[in-house]
Structure 1
Amino acid sequence: MTPASNVNAQLPRPTAGRANPSVAPPEPEKGASPEQIEADLARTRRELGETVEALAEKFDVKSQAQVQLDEVKHRVAAEIHGARQHALTYFRRARDFVTDEQGKPNRNGWIGVATVAATAALIVVGRARR
């Protein structure tokens, strides 16, 4: 479906002849008083103004783009917050795994430090031999 036909599909279809009674009250009778006619004109103007306002909002590309941008910003901020919380939880668990109750490295901590040091030494020696 093309963008133009998509927009047209979303617009209300006009009805032939009289307005749909379930949507709007019927027009005043032939012998209606001037007050009834004035009230009908005011209602029609108000409805027309609301319709024009709704159409203007629907076709305001800049406003629609801003709404979508705000939604994306909100989703990205939520994802960043979730990732940050996940990383903090992971690092806290890792810290608790390698330290004792006083915060000093335990056996696992020393094994980790030794492994990192040995790996770094192997990398340095390997690059020096090239």
Structure 2
Amino acid sequence: MKRSRRELLDSVEALADRLDIKNRTRHRFEETKQRVADGARRLREQPEDTFTHPHDPNKKPGAPTTSGWIAIALVASAAAIVLTVAIRAARR
């Protein structure tokens, strides 16, 4: 009998967690924020010439390389996702 009650309580708690949209949104927001922070840290650890043209006479010094543009696009996309999730969470 106690086992059945415990299983029922566990099932109800799991269902309540699934239905808690605010908590799930907050959790996804935190995960996304952590992924963005990890990505930014990895980008900072890259050598400078990975993302800019240091000695190319045809390019302005510091101009982004293809990898640099991709990194900029990824960071901008992640920021847009975080902002969208935050706005949606605030509306609820």
TM-score by length of 2: 0.50
Larger Rg: 1
Q: Which has the higher helix share?
A: 2
Answer 1 or 2: higher relative contact order, Cα 8 Å, separation at least 6.
2
